Structure 1
Amino acid sequence: MTINKEKTNNVNITEITKAGKAHTHRKKIKTQVTTLITITIVVALLVSGILLSYKTAKEFTKSYQEQMLQEGRSTIDAISNNIDTIDSVYRILTLNDSVYKWLGKNYEYDANSSVVLKQMTSVLIMNNIWEKSYINSIYVYNNQGSQIHVSKDESVLSTTETTTIYRTYNEETPTLTIRSLDNSNCLYFIRSIYSSDSGEILGTVIISIDKKEWLADLTQSISNGWHIFLYNKDVELISGTDGNTTKHEMNALKNSIIKNSDWVFFDTTFKDNSYLALSNNIEKMELNTVVMAPKAQISKQLFNVLLPYIVVIILIIVAVTIIAFLFSRVITRPITVMKGYVDRIADGNYSEHISSLDDYEEFYSLQLSVNNMLSEIHSYHDDILEQNMLLKDAEIRALQSQINPHFLFNVLNTMAWKAQMSDNNEIYSMAIALGELLKATVISRDNFEATVEDELSYVRFYNYLQKMRFEDKIQVFFDIEPNLDKCHIPIFSIQTLVENAYVHGLEPKETSGTLTISIKKISDNVCISVVDDGVGFTKIPTFDTNETQDVQVGGHTHVGLKNLNRRLFLMYGGNSSLHIESIPMEKTTISFMVPFNFEDTTL
């Protein structure tokens, strides 16, 4: 007999097991010891590390500010030198007789202007002014608005922008003034030229410089990634942005700047980035200068300084954790051993007794007590298992007795003998068939399984008896896969399905019908199905494997199907229950699957 022999514990044992597993979230001694040691040392290291980091960060910030101050002064010096270089153009031109006379006579552009232009170019080259990469052009205007110029860029745009500057800012500018146009790549330095005799204005010098080239020259004095911001009421210029700074961003930056004639440190934000800034004012140009260092860069450099200390602290913490773990493992080893045994007990292993705790007096006493308890539980468990087996056996036998009532063989033998003596072969064959079915009923009381071959013989006897009733109204077909004759299946399982098909499907049908019995091997299982084209089910019955009373479905209790489903559950578990599909008056299929088994499991 094949029965689902699952281990069954007493209710109290099950509750104890569940309770033990439900408390796995509680704290562990080993974890507590490891955590306590680790936390103590880690806290000490962290406090020391924080103090060290604070002091290091403070010194680093001070050093960084000194670096910014030094580079800021270098930037101011570079700007002043560039402005002096640009302003020197004024002195060079006013000292040149040809340029001075051209301005004084207010010539229009003519051949004389061409001579003056050549001399002006020569003077600029001799004084190395023209070698400055940031100088684009130098325009000299007289009082008539005529101009002569030298330029590296002879484009119409350059001349147009310079003319716009001249017309827009055509006022007296005794000192060098800086101007700019929106969306222009150039800055313009403007200064009026005065007569040395009368003090009257003779003209105006406009020097155009390239913004990017000038900023590139200035940023040589600061660290990579820093910004220089130059601004006054007419100019806003910042390095390292490729000209993609909006007016709103410029205004927000200017509003956050602390203006001072001396160096002042402050925090600011530009393009969503934080900066440490240093500002100063160049009074002679009314030009505010700001040097900005990204705080992210400061943090990165500080991190690089602290990284070796952080690595050492982490390594110490890891080493301490490992040592604490090993130490706690030594301390708590007996508890771990005991827990392992208790877990096995919770999983149902009552035969293995606790050992290896003889070295510790407290645990040795606990070991003796638990082993005594295990012996009693093991005996108790075996008794319960045996009782459950007996209960299942009795239930299966009771179900089989309900399906297959016992008849007297002697009566049938007498009927068969009389029929044979009177040459009534039909009665004789019917008596023999019924006798074989009754013999199988008796056999089923001691055997829960039969081979496919024997089960099909019972089905054929039953079909013969039904054929005597219905003659040729019902045709029966067999679809049996080869090599399954010796496979074991529940006895009277197919016969029960065939009987159900006759009684509830084909018999009520007024016309002829067919019945197909199919047995197939699918993977490691044998699938058995009975198909008929009778009246079918108007409502598919459901079977509760734990239900003891019959429930009517469509006026029928279906006790045969219910008992077969219960037998399948007891013998193979829930995966072998009956599966019913029905289309009324067309097709009804009842099937089940059992494990493929050639072994004799007869009790």
Structure 2
Amino acid sequence: MKKEEKDKKKYSLRIRMLEINVGIALVSFLLCGVLFICSVSWVIGKYIDHDLDFFLKEAGENIEKRMEYMTEVLNELRSSELLMEYLRDGGNTYSLEKVRQAFSEAVDINNSSNRGDEGMPLVDCVYLFRNSGEYITDFYYAIVPGDQEKSDQIIANVWKVYRDTRDNEIGFETYCYRDGKSLYLACPILNDSLEEQGSLVFRLNIKTIYSLMNQVGDYRGGVCAIYTKKGNILETYPKNVDLLGKDWKEVSHNTPYIGKIGEEKYRLYNHELCMDLRVAIGIPENYAIKILYDSIDIYVVGIIAIIIAGILSFGVFTIKMTSPIEEVNEKLKLVGQRNFQAKLPDYDSKEFHAISCGFNQMTKEIDYLVNEVYEKQILIKEMELKFLQTQMNPHFMFNVLNALALQAQIDGNRELSKKISTFSQLIQAKIYRSDTEKVQIKQELEYVKYYLEIQEFRYENNLTYSIQMEKGVEEYYIPKLCIQLVVENAIVHGLEPKLGKGNVEVDIRKEDEHICICVNDNGIGFDMDGEVLLPLKAKEADKVHNRVGLNNVNNIIKLMYGNEFGIHIFSKKGKGVRVTIYLPTDIGEEI
């Protein structure tokens, strides 16, 4: 115990070298990896910031480009003498039809500027109002007669509210009104003196506006809002998003900037549109960090792969260089186990070559000195083994045939006579084979079953037994009669003195690389509780259990396989005994 504790305190030179080398490699690679990742992150971060800023500006300019159609229409109307005269004098000079035609040409509602690349019109209806309330209109879609009256009521209300809320009739000022799927945008038409000549009302398609704002949908958490000069929000993406705070309305910045919407930081950009409108676009700042992580993850994986490869290389190199140390240690353990055939290979290293030559010479001389004594001990053990087995055979025959003869004499039963004849044949054919010391488990169980059948017949209904065997163990070899003798002791010295029914259980199984055979009986047990040590003393053997049976089985096993195998006995006084036989997995080769 003290030696084991002392050995635990010592460290392995090979493992210590492996730990140091791997530790140095790991620290070096980690430092280089961290420095590389930081450099790459800084460079990529700059590119990501530039790309996001470019997107924000481009998105704002795209929305502005689509909105320019309304400015173009307004300029076309102001440059048309016919339409400006209509606004001033009405239809007195020119026919109303000619005015409508000129208005349709000026509006050109079907042109590509209004439709965009996706073919969806931003403005689907334009109204031209005189100050008297008279108006003409042009539609992108053909209007259904049933919807005309509803459309006229809405536009009349929009124009009225616009006129009522307009501060004065000088200067440019817009008015917005939201109704379902449409957004109405009203503005004045001014002459060169900035005097209001009439009003222009655009009906904008909300679906088209939303599709323009949907550009930010490619960025998770992105927001977009179109609002008026006074700060009234007309449309947002996503719908019903809460735009808290004032940072997103800042227009003093010509470039994207970092601001807050609520408590979250955003990369924001404000851009002025036509008709006193503005657009604010924002992308969460943490999205830039996510893009950065996604961009450098391949580098992180590469660094990790390099670190692992480096550590493995250092580890393999260290293991290879120190493998002779491990081989020397293992060979020394074999010598400690009295295996003097252990030899070290020749090494290229000068130092280990000297160690190898000295070790091999030492084991050769020790082996020579030990062989003479060891061979003599083997001869003595073989003689003892032969003697013990020749002692067991007549003992087995005597007990079994004596029991059968006694019962046959009492009953005069023909069936019992047959049992005796069968058992005699078994003895002649199996047990007295002098050319073997070991039998397979399945063959040994034949002896046991014959013996138990005869004893069951003898004791009539007072004896029951069971035999359980794990599949696959029946082919292993064990010393002949080792199970039968233990079963015999259980019946004769455990169950026979007992009043009442007796039971014997045989259980055979494989545990790791060992065979475990348990024989349990519910007999009278030893005159003690707990483990019973072998060999049994003469007094205990004579009174309780058969010394020739249990002691000799234990001795045979130890002589055949060594002191680590044998029999263990556990007794419960008055309740029975469990005898456990531990054997190696013997496939029939010479031990």
Q: TM-score, structure 1 length as denominator?
A: 0.55
Partner of 1:139: 127
Instruction: Name the amino acid aligned to 1:342.
Output: N
Distance in 2, matches of 1:150 and 1:29, equals: 89
Identity %: 12
Which of 174, 179, 185 aligns to 2:176? It is: 179
The structure 2 residue matched to 1:87, chosen from 46, 66, 74, is: 74
Contact 2:185–2:203 (Cα < 8 Å) also in 1: yes
Q: State the shift of 1:136 in Å.
A: 1.1
Could you tell me which amino acid in structure 2 is paired with residue 245 of structure 1?
A: K
Q: Deviations over 1:334-370 (max 9, x none)?
A: 5222223324545766632334346434x45655676
Q: Give the alignment of 1:9-408 within 5 angstroms.
A: 19=8, 23=11, 27-30=15-18, 32-33=20-21, 36=24, 39-40=27-28, 43=31, 47=35, 50-51=38-39, 54=42, 56-57=43-44, 60=47, 63-64=50-51, 67=54, 71=58, 74-75=61-62, 78=65, 81-88=68-75, 91=78, 95-96=82-83, 100=87, 116=96, 119-120=99-100, 123-131=103-111, 132=114, 133-140=121-128, 148-153=136-141, 154=143, 156=147, 162=155, 165-166=158-159, 169-173=162-166, 174=169, 175-181=172-178, 184-192=180-188, 204-214=199-209, 229-232=225-228, 233-238=231-236, 241=237, 244-248=238-242, 251-252=243-244, 255-257=246-248, 259-268=250-259, 275-281=266-272, 285-292=275-282, 321=310, 325=314, 329=317, 333-343=320-330, 345-346=332-333, 351-357=341-347, 359-361=349-351, 363=352, 366-367=355-356
- Pairwise CA RMSD of aligned residues? 7.3
Q: Quick one: structure 1 residues 211 and 339, their matched pair in 2 at CA, closer, same or farther if it must change by over 3 Å?
A: same
Output the CA distance in 1 between the equivalents of 2:445 and 2:297: 82
Tell me the secondary structure at the aligned position of residue 257 of structure 1: helix
Bigger relative contact order (CA 8 A; separation at least 6) = 1
With over 3 angstroms needed to count, the CA separation of the structure-2 counterparts of 1:272 and 1:378, relative to structure 1, is: farther
Map residues 428-443 of structure 1 onto 2, 5 A cutoff: none
Q: Which secondary structure does the structure 2 equivalent of 1:354 belong to?
A: coil
SS at match of 1:229: strand
Structure 1 match to 2:487: 497
Q: Note closer, same or farther for the CA distance 1:69–1:453 as it changes in structure 2 (3 Å cut).
A: closer
Counterpart AA for 1:120: R
Question: 1:235: how far off?
Answer: 2.4
Could you state the TM-score of these two structures normalised by the residue count of structure 2? 0.56
With over 3 angstroms needed to count, the CA separation of the structure-2 counterparts of 1:374 and 1:28, relative to structure 1, is farther
**Equivalent-residue separation in structure 2 for 1:576 and 1:589 (angstroms):** 10
| CA 1:103–1:93: 2 relative to 1, 3 Å | farther
Deviation at 1:104, TM superposition (A): 9.0
Query: How far 1:103 moved relative to its partner?
Result: 6.4
Query: How far off its partner does 1:207 sit?
Result: 0.9
Paired residues, what number?
A: 512
For the residues of structure 1 that align with 2:151 and 2:378, how far apart are their CA atoms? 106
**Is the Cα–Cα contact under 8 Å of residues 83 and 102 in structure 2 kept in the other structure?**
no
Seen in structure 2, the aligned counterparts of structure 1 residues 346 and 295 have a Cα distance that, compared at 3 Å, is farther
* Change in 2 beyond 3 A, CA 1:325/1:285: same
Residues 101 and 598 of structure 1: CA distance in aligned 2, closer, same or farther (over 3 Å): closer
Equivalent-residue separation in structure 1 for 2:91 and 2:526 (angstroms): 120
Q: Deviations over 1:311-337 (max 9, x none)?
A: 9985995799399749x83x8755222
2:103 maps to a residue whose letter is V
The code of the aligned residue for 2:328 comes to Y
* Cα distance change, pair 23–170 in 1 and its aligned pair in 2 (3 A): farther
Which amino acid is 2:105 matched to? Answer: I
Query: What code does the residue aligned with 1:277 have?
Result: L
Deviations 1:236-295 (A, max 9, x none): 434xx5xx43242xx23x54426133414323578999753222456x855343344576
1:587-598 correspondence to structure 2 within 5 Å? none
Q: Is the 8 A contact 1:86 1:207 kept in 2?
A: no
Q: Unaligned regions of 5+ residues in structure 2, if any?
A: 115-120, 406-416, 468-473, 537-542
1: CA distance, partners of 2:485 / 2:332:
45
CA distance in structure 1 between the aligned counterparts of 2:20 and 2:98, rounded to whole angstroms: 92
| Distance change (3 Å), C-alpha of 1:32 and 1:355 | same
Contact 1:258/1:264 (CA < 8 Å) preserved in 2? no
Aligned with 2:248: secondary structure? coil
Cα offset for 1:135? 0.9
- Shift of residue 137 of structure 1? 1.1
Query: Which deviates more from structure 2 when the two are superposed, residues 368-377 or residues 260-269?
Result: 368-377
> 1:205 is matched by which residue type in structure 2?
L
Q: Are the counterparts in 2 of residues 276 and 295 from structure 1 also a CA contact under 8 Å?
A: yes
Q: Matched residues in 1 for 2:208 and 2:152: separation?
A: 19
